[in-house]
Each structure stands twice: as C-alpha cells, then as structure tokens.
C-alpha cells in the first residue's frame, strides 16, 4: 500500500498539522502491519497490542465522525467516564487483527482531514473533552495518536514517533484541556507556573484555589519556572513518563522563588 499524502489546509488546520496527523497514523500502521500476535501486553497498560490498536482505530473513527458533523457522545469529559466509555465501546468491537486495524487507523485519520477541509475554520465541535475549534480538535487527534502510538511502539520494541515538531502541534489541545483535567491535589493551591519547552513554546499556568487559567505569556512574576525537553513534557502530561526520573536525567530544570513547586506540577492534572 502506498502512503497517502496529506494536503495542507490553509485557514482550517495550522501549517504542518495535517501532514503530522496522517504521518503519525502511517507510522502507527507500520508498527502493526504483518503482526500475527496481537495478544502481547502493552507496557504500563491493561490492554494488549490488539486492544490498544482497536481503541485507536475506534477513536480515529469517532473523531472523523465528529469532524463530519455527526453527534457522537463518549463519556462526560471526566477521566473516569472516558475510561468507562473506552472499555464499553472496545467490548462491542471485536476486531483484533493487526492489518485491518492498521488500515482503519490510517483511513479514519484521512477521513478526519477530509471532513475538516469541508468546514469553515471557525466552526466549533463538541468532543469528548468539551467544545473546541477544528484546529484544536486536530491537535487533539494528533495528541491521542501520539500517546497510543508511543504505547504500541514500546509493545513491539520499536522506536516511537514523538518529536519536537509534533509536540509543538499538540500544544493547542494540551493547553485547552488543562483546565478540564485538574486533579484533586490542585484544591487550595495559589501559584503561577511558567512552562518553557526547550527552544520552543512557553506558557503560564495559574492556579487559584483549584481553578486553572492558562495563558500564552507570563503575567507577572512566576512562582516557579519549569524548562523541559519537549517529548518529555508530552510523555509526562500523558502519564507515560516518571517526572522524577526525567529530572534525574536532566530533562527538566526549575527555578524561582517557589522552585520546590516543580515536582508537584504533574500531580495537579489527571490524564484522561
């Protein structure tokens, strides 16, 4: 099968996002094609390779349908409801063979792009993590594929597809979703963090008694500045990497009048 080419969509998706979505889907499919044993476990997960791939195929289809204007419900936006919805839908979908799942993952990523291309850029869609514009929704799709693509790569002992450029393209969704996935440890906290991706984007996250606001630029002096290698940032945000180990390896640096707040930051969110 020859790889599908992604057509960039000026005014709908940011530059590079369409290519990143389809390229990531193709790289995930390459991990799966020809695999005869999909019962191998996924490290750090209760799912097997086949179950994780089936979930990814279903999720891509869900997002393609939403982009096409269909109303699809999938939990209420809380991590618990999303996990329950994932398990319920997975139990109703019996495909676990690698090659058909690989083709479905690519086909539904392409269907998402085609659907987005037919809509005005300002359209707002209702997603499993709330309402967002199409550009942010595309970032959501990419982020979801990167997280599970990382899992599948580990399961089969291959290199993952995360890189600096794709992490930057995931940020619109990550920043939008932060206030929606605040965890219990944030209750009562009053602090301002500045997050800097090395040689990349920086943004501010402010906690006020459990409420969270995220801005593109520092507003006032931060209590704690965290500088982090981009891929490490995404893996920690998605619950795939231990922040203490990353700090020990020099992938995270922190300073400020309350630098001791740095290790607490990942605990303030619960990955959906």
| Unique residue bearing structure tokens 């997280």 | 147
Mean of the pLDDT values across residues 179-184? 90
Does 11 have pLDDT greater than 80? no
- pLDDT for 245 beyond 60: yes
Is the pLDDT at 199 greater than 50? The verdict is: yes
Look over the chain and give the mean of its residue pLDDT values, rounded to a whole number: 92
More confident residue, 248 or 150: 150
Contact 28, 20 (CB under 8 A): no
CATH of region 17-178: 1.20.120
Q: How confident is the model over 57-102, as pLDDT tens digits? A: 999 999 999 999 999 989 888 888 999 999 999 999 999 999 999 9
Cα of 158 vs its chain's centroid, Å: 20
Q: What's the whole-model pTM score? A: 0.93
Question: DSSP letters of 23-67?
Answer: HHHHHHHHHHTT-----SBPTTSSSBHHHHHHHHHHHHHHHHHHH
What CATH number labels 181-268?
3.30.1050.10
Average pLDDT on 2-10 reads: 45
Q: Do 181-268 and 17-178 have the same topology in CATH? A: no
Sign (positive or negative) of CA dihedral 105, 109, 114, 116: positive
Where in the chain are the domains? 17-178, 181-268
Whole-angstrom distance, CA of residue 107 vs CA of residue 180:
30
Q: Which two tokens stand for residue 96?
A: 């676990």
Distance of CA 17 to the CA centre of its chain: 13
What is the rounded radius of gyration, in angstroms, for the C-alpha atoms of the chain? 19
* Alpha-carbon span 80 to 171, nearest angstrom: 23
pLDDT band at residue 6, thresholds of 50, 70 and 90?
Answer: very low
| pLDDT at residue 9, rounded to an integer | 43
Q: Tell me what pLDDT residue 220 has.
A: 80
């Amino acid at each position: 099968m020859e790889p599908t080419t992604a057509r960039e969509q000026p005014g709908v998706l940011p530059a590079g996002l369409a290519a990143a979505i389809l390229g990531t889907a193709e790289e995930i499919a390459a991990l799966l094609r020809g695999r005869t044993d999909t019962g191998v476990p996924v490290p750090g997960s209760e799912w097997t390779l086949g179950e994780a791939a089936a979930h990814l195929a279903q999720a891509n289809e869900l997002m393609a349908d939403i982009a096409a204007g269909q109303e699809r419900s999938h939990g209420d936006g809380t991590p618990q409801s999303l996990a329950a919805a994932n398990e319920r839908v997975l139990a109703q979908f019996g495909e676990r063979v690698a090659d058909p799942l690989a083709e479905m993952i690519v086909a539904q990523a392409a269907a998402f792009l085609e659907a987005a291309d037919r809509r005005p850029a300002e359209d707002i869609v209702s997603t499993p993590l709330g309402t967002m514009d199409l550009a942010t929704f595309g970032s959501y799709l990419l982020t979801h594929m990167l997280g599970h693509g990382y899992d599948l790569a580990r399961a089969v002992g291959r290199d993952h597809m995360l890189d600096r450029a794709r992490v930057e393209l995931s940020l619109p969704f990550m920043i939008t979703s932060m206030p929606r996935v605040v965890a219990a440890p944030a209750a009562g906290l009053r602090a301002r963090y500045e997050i800097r991706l090395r040689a990349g984007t920086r943004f501010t996250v402010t906690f006020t008694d459990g409420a969270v606001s995220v801005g593109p630029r520092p507003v006032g002096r931060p209590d704690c500045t965290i500088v982090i290698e981009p891929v490490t940032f995404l893996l920690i945000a998605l619950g795939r990497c231990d922040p203490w180990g990353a700090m020990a390896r020099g992938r995270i640096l922190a300073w400020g009048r309350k630098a001791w707040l740095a290790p607490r930051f990942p605990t303030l969110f619960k990955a959906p």
